[in-house]
Amino acid sequence: MSSYVFILCPPYAGSTVLWRLMSSSAAVSSLPGEGQFLPEVTKFMRQDPWNPDVVLPWPEIKEVWDGYWDQSRPLLVEKSPPNLLRADEIVRHFHPAHFLIMVRNPYAHCEGLIRRNRWSPDEAAEFSMRCMRQQSKNSADLPHTLCFTYEDLVGNPRKISEKIQLFLPQTGALEYTGKFSVHSVDGVVEREIVDLNAKKISNLSANDILAINEVLEKNLDIMAYWGYEAIEASNFI
């Protein structure tokens, strides 16, 4: 019987890199992109997707996704970011379910939200902290989880690949030295797994940092939980 693997990761936080890495395994069947955008389910999953109070018809969604996955593969992988708010529902409908939980440096995360979504720095920071706090809850409450950061992944892809292989022995070989097509701060490019945080953070202004820090300073507990610290706006003047 196949196992379901859900990548729980905020948008613009490295989920595509992790998804590409997982998809390099011959044991994996991945949906064609994010499952939330498959035409049969967008009417459910794209209606206020970040509202946890929206009730989704999971049996119907599962039936659609099961039709896209290659059921002969041991691992069936999905990566829609809003799933991080609904993992408890996923556990009830997908058996057995495993979770790869990842977060990213909040400044780099905010840069992506500001640039891609046209959000204000404080809006981006509030969303980033909301996701990070939910991920800590997921790591504590969900069964069958492997947790790491974007920085862990890009800093030592071999080590994270080995951790994934121990967590999911069916995975087999992962091509962590290969090149993957991803949408990044440089546009859509094909590259090896590299750390883009410094480049992204350098795009932020001192005023951006000040606005972001106003939010982060109210969430120092969750920052510390994931090993992050605030940075000084004076470094960007």
Write the CATH number for 62.
3.40.50.300
User: Residue 235 has what pLDDT?
Assistant: 72
Number of domains in the chain: 1
Each of the 237 residues of the chain gets a pLDDT tens digit; together they read 899 999 999 999 999 999 999 999 999 999 999 999 999 999 999 999 999 999 999 999 999 999 999 999 999 999 999 999 999 999 999 999 999 999 999 999 999 999 999 999 999 999 999 999 999 999 999 999 999 999 999 999 999 999 999 999 999 999 999 776 665 555 666 779 999 999 999 999 999 999 999 999 999 999 999 999 999 887 765
Cα separation, 157 vs 193, in Å, equals 7
Taking CA atoms, 168 is separated from 156, 186, 187, in Å, by: 18, 32, 32
Nearest alpha carbon to residue 3 among 143, 124, 162: 143
- The residues facing 28 across adjacent strands are 75
Q: What is residue 190's predicted lDDT score, i.e. its pLDDT?
A: 78
Amino acid at 135: Q
Give strand pairing partners of 146. Answer: 100
Domain that holds residue 81: 3-236
Q: What does pTM read for this prediction?
A: 0.94
Tell me the pairing of strands 180-184 and 187-191.
Answer: antiparallel
Contact 95, 5 (CB under 8 A): no
Q: Whole-angstrom Cα distance, residue 236 to residue 216?
A: 17
